[in-house]
Amino acid sequence: MRYLNRFNEYVHIYEQTYPIPRLEKTCQHIEKARKQIEEKLKDAVLGDPNPELVRQTIEKFFRWAINSSTEDFSWLEVALLCHGLLIDIPRYGRLMDSESAIKVLLRKFSIQYESYILSTYQWQGLLNAYLNTSPRQNPKIEENWKELRAFLESTLDKVASQSSFKLRWLEALISHRIILTENATQSLARNALEGRNESVIRIEREVNIPGTSWFWPELLMAQVEVITTYPDDKFKQAIDLVLPQLQNRKECLDDGLAHILNRYAQCTSTEFHQEIKTTAVSCWKSPSLEKQRNWERVSSEAKRMVQRWLAFEDISDVLGELVDDNRRYEFWLQFLDQIEQTFVWLGISARESFPHFLSNRQGRCAVLNHSGKPDNNVIMMKIGDVFIIESGARAGGKCWAYGEPKMRPLLQRSSLSYDFFRDPKNNLFKTIWGESDGLVHQSVSWEKTFQNELTRFHIEPDTMDLDKIIQRYQLRIEVMPSGTERILHKYGTGIIADLLRKYGFSYNRDGFFRNPRN
């Protein structure tokens, strides 16, 4: 009895030193530990399977496909199959490329090994294959991709319900299961374009979709396709949302740009768009250059539209800004719809003061050397078979016209002396006295002389109504409180003045005025 009492004393001392928690505290501690472990496991990343083991398992799978009674698969082997759809196996290729393997795997095989395939790790392998396979590669892959998408969509809830705890990627996928539905990118694209892009933002933040996945370029191209269905005004506004995204997604840029150019060319008004022009020429160079296959992506109307934009830019920069001659600028813009190609040679003053004029004109600009006239520049305008050369000197300057044999070699050179353009023997333009040393701009009515020469080659100004005149010359009609219409233009002579007078406007120092009631 004495020994028993002493034992009890020792037990009592031990309990005081190491107190045993109550049962509910023990359960709380276990639950807390479980949650901590679960939270860590939510972000667990498993490494890629061993390629050799995958190869062996895939070979075994193909044997099973012929005779299902000859093979039995473990949990690990099913996992290797699900994670090996995109691994290229010698003699077999990729399961994803096979005409029958995906159907066999997701139908016949998945029934026999359902408990394995619908565990989160195996199912995640199928999801990764779905997200990393481009459905537009070829019809066979697209069919397998659709089969895979349908299987994932139909089994997502079952996988989630059977999972002992929800991995973070699985929780996110349940919230954003739209990515497993047909035409998912079209629905998300419309939301994003209409300001409801919270779904896209959350998917990007929460669902671990690789940056190389088809999902992101497909989502962008879906936005491009959506905006091409918009009315003109809404489409033009949406370009500013989509074009910067295309510039950051090089794999989408060519196709997306072609869609935008084709749609823009169908607009009622195809006014100059700086960002589209810059993007197109930076990617594809000038549409007037030879052997530019990318321009075959677009319609002839779209290509012609960009050619007009480039001609407008060259005429504006050379004759409008460098020469600052409103009469020459206004005269040549009359033929904008007919100018197929322009080319610019810049003198030393322009290259020093406006270096971007040279750098921004890759393939359609070169250096001009003109001793004693550093401010001279030359612009070439091709109309039909006639190559018109307009000297861009501030004081004076002449205009010539040549045929293709003379001009084509000059367009290939990086620099030229001005003397190359002074060629009376081959010049097509003649003065009223029959001379061929170039037309001059110094007479009061030089425009009439120039037009007479152009008429000899069946070149007449574009047909323009008042709206087109205003658009082309970037004018604006203001309606005064009295109802009188005013167009601000400071020159009382020149082509614009002549055209506006034909539409009933009269000039004073404050611009051109017209009373519609008269």
What is d(CA 197, CA 219) in angstroms, rounded to the nearest whole number? 12
For the chain, residues with pLDDT lower than 50 are: 33-34, 36-45
- The residue among 299, 321, 355 that closes a domain is 299
What is d(CA 345, CA 242) in angstroms, rounded to the nearest whole number? 35
Q: Judge if 331 and 442 occupy the same domain.
A: yes
Instruction: Render pLDDT for 328-364 as a digit per residue (tens, 0 to 9).
Output: 999 999 999 999 999 999 999 999 988 888 888 888 9
Residues 6+ apart with CB under 8 A from 207: 169, 172, 173, 176, 179
Say if 119 falls within a structural domain.
Answer: yes
Looking at the structure of the chain, the number of domains it has is: 5
Q: Judge if 478 and 346 occupy the same domain.
A: no
Taking CA atoms, 390 is separated from 130, 376, 377, 434, 438, in Å, by 59, 11, 9, 19, 10
pLDDT for the residue 14:
60
Q: Judge if 360 and 388 occupy the same domain.
A: yes
Q: What is the 3-state secondary structure (H, E, C) of 443-475?
A: CCCHHHHHHHHHHHCCCCCCCCCHHHHHHHCCC
pLDDT for the residue 36:
47
Q: Judge if 63 and 135 occupy the same domain.
A: yes
pLDDT for the residue 66:
87
**Predicted model pTM:** 0.81
- The residue among 428, 456, 484 that closes a domain is 456
pLDDT for the residue 51:
78
Strand-pairing partners, residue 389, are 380, 400
Q: Judge if 28 and 65 occupy the same domain.
A: no
What is d(CA 383, CA 370) in angstroms, rounded to the nearest whole number? 26
pLDDT for the residue 383:
96
Q: What is the 3-state secondary structure (H, E, C) of 203-234?
A: HHHHCCCCCCCCHHHHHHHHHHHHHCCCCHHH
In terms of C-beta distances under 8 Å and separation of at least 24 residues, what long-range contacts does 136-145 make, across chains too? 136/214, 140/97, 140/99, 141/96, 141/97, 144/96, 144/97, 144/98, 144/102, 144/103, 145/96
pLDDT for the residue 461:
97
Q: Judge if 321 and 450 occupy the same domain.
A: yes
Q: Judge if 83 and 149 occupy the same domain.
A: yes
Say if 186 falls within a structural domain.
Answer: no
Q: Judge if 368 and 417 occupy the same domain.
A: yes
- The residue among 456, 476, 500 that closes a domain is 456
What is d(CA 487, CA 220) in angstroms, rounded to the nearest whole number? 42
Say if 195 falls within a structural domain.
Answer: no
pLDDT for the residue 123:
94
**CA-based radius of gyration for the chain:** 37
Q: Judge if 289 and 325 occupy the same domain.
A: no
Say if 500 falls within a structural domain.
Answer: yes
Q: Judge if 228 and 269 occupy the same domain.
A: yes
Say if 345 falls within a structural domain.
Answer: yes
What is d(CA 228, CA 186) in angstroms, rounded to the nearest whole number? 13
Are 304 and 337 spatial neighbours (Cβ–Cβ below 8 Å)?
no
Amino acid occupying residue 178: I
SS3 382: strand
Q: Judge if 71 and 138 occupy the same domain.
A: yes
Whole domain around residue 76: which residue ranges? Answer: 51-175
Q: Judge if 28 and 71 occupy the same domain.
A: no
pLDDT for the residue 8:
65
Say if 44 falls within a structural domain.
Answer: no
Say if 87 falls within a structural domain.
Answer: yes
Say if 249 falls within a structural domain.
Answer: yes
